[in-house]
Amino acid sequence: MTEFWIICALLLAVALVFVVWPLWRSTVKDNEVVRDAANLEIFRDQIAEMDADLANGLLTPELYEQGKRELQSRLLDEVKSPHGSATAPVRNPLKVLAAVLVVLIPLASVGLYWKLGSLDVFLPQDQNATAEGFGTVLSATALKELEDKLAKKPQDPQGWLLLARSYVELERYGDAAKAYDKLTQLVPGEAQLWADYADALAMTQGQSLRGEPTLLLNKALEVDANNPKTLALAGSAAMERGDYPAAIKYWENLLQQMPNKNSEDAKMVASGIQQARSFLAQVKGGKVPMMAQAPVAEQSSSVAPGKERISGTVVLGDAVKGKAEPGDTLFILARAANGPPMPLAVLRKQVKDLPMQFTLDDSMAMSPQMKLSGFDKVVVVARISKSGNAMPQPGDLQGMSAALKPGVAGLLVKIDSVVK
C-alpha cells in the first residue's frame, strides 16, 4: 500500500509541474508602463512634425521652442506615477493561481479516490482469483484487517464474499456459514451464494445436506433453477433423503447444461442419474435400495479391514506446472465408478502441498449413506480448482485413476490435464 501512495505522489508531482510551472513563469504586463510607452511614442511623433514645420518655415524658432516646452511639460504630467514611484511592484495573478493549484490538485485527487476508489485492493490476497474476480485472504493479519473493516462497514457485500471464501479455504466452515448468512441478506438474488452457503453449512454437520442446507438450496433454486452448483447439490441432497425422482430431475437438468457430454464430469452425472433410476426401480419393486439401508454403524461392522480406505500420492505433471499457483485449491476425492456423482470421500488442500501423500476413508464421506466401503469400484480424482469451488470449471487441472477397489494402497495420481 505504501508503494501505491508513493507512485500516486510522483504522478501528482509530474502533473503539477506541467500545470503550475507555465503559470508561475508567465508575466503580466503593467498597464502604466504600456501607457507611458505609448505617450513617449506620441511625443516623438509630435516633435518630429514640429521639426519638419520649422525646417519648412511654417514655424518660427520662438513658436517652435514654446511648443516643444509645452509637449515636454504635458509628457511629464502624463507619465508621472500616481504614487510618486515609477517602480511600484505589480502582482501577477497567474502566480497566485499556480499557488492555489499546488494545494487544490492534491487535495482534490486524494478526496476523489477516497470517495470513489476502493482500499480493499490493498488487502494481501493469494494468487487464486475466482471467476468473479475475488481471491482469498489467508494470512492471519490480513484476515483480521478484513474482519475489522467489515465490523465498521457491515454493508460491504464484496468484503463478506472475500471473508466467506477465505474461511472456506481455511476450513473454518462455521465462520464461513455465518459470513454467507450475512452476505445472502445483503445480496439475496444470487443463487450461487445460497448454494455456497448450503455447502459450507453442510460441512459443519458432517457433510450432510439434510435440514437447513436443503432449505438453502431450495432458496437457490427459487432464484435460479439452472445454477450448476445448486443442481449438483440439490441432486445429492435428494439422494441423501431418498427422493430419487427429484435427484433425477436435478441431475438431468445439470447434464443438459454440460457442453461436452463425453467429459468425465458429464459421465459422472449420467452415472448418478442411472443409479438414482436403479434405486427408484428398487423402491417401486418393494426392495430397499442401498442408500436407505440400515444404520451406518451396522453396515461398517461387516466391512473387511482396510476396505474403507485408499491411500497414495498425488503429484503435479510437468506439462501443467506453469498453470498452477501455490495458493490454488486442491481437491482429492473418490467417487463411485458407476454410481451417483456425489463424492464418497473428499480431502481439501492446496497446490503448495504437492507432492503429497493422502488417505481417503469412510470418515471423509459427504453423506453417512455414501461411503467408500459401500461400492465395489471407485475412481480417485485430483483436481486443482482455479475458482476454489468443488464443481469443475474450464481451466481447472485434473488427474484421475482407473476404476479400482477400495482398500488400495500406494496409488499414484498425476495431475496432467486441463478441464475443457
| pLDDT tier for residue 305 given thresholds of 50, 70 and 90 | very low
In this prediction the pTM is 0.52
In a domain, 58, yes or no: yes
In a domain, 123, yes or no: no
**Residue 295 main-chain phi, psi, to 5 deg:** -50, 155
- The CA–CA distances, whole Å, from 268 to 222, 278, 341, 342 equal 26, 15, 5, 9
143 with 287, same domain: the answer is yes
In a domain, 52, yes or no: yes
Q: What is the pLDDT of residue 205?
A: 80
- Report the CATH number that the domain containing residue 341 is assigned in CATH: 2.60.40
Range of the domain at 253: 136-292
In a domain, 246, yes or no: yes
Each residue's pLDDT tens digit, 70-84: 877 777 776 654 444
Percent of the chain with pLDDT strictly greater than 70:
79
329 vs 389, more confident: 329
228 vs 12, more confident: 228
Q: What is the pLDDT of residue 10?
A: 84
173 with 321, same domain: the answer is no
Answer whether residue 303 shows pLDDT above 60.
no
211 with 253, same domain: the answer is yes
Q: What is the pLDDT of residue 356?
A: 92
Q: Which of 7-21, 140-154, 255-269, 300-314 is the most confident on average? A: 140-154
In a domain, 113, yes or no: yes
Residue 164, all three cell numbers = 466467506
Query: Cα(71)–Cα(79) distance, rounded to whole angstroms?
Result: 12
In a domain, 329, yes or no: yes
365 with 314, same domain: the answer is yes
The domain tally of the chain equals: 4
24 with 44, same domain: the answer is no
Q: What share of residues in the chain are helix, strand, coil (percent, to 5)?
A: 55, 10, 35
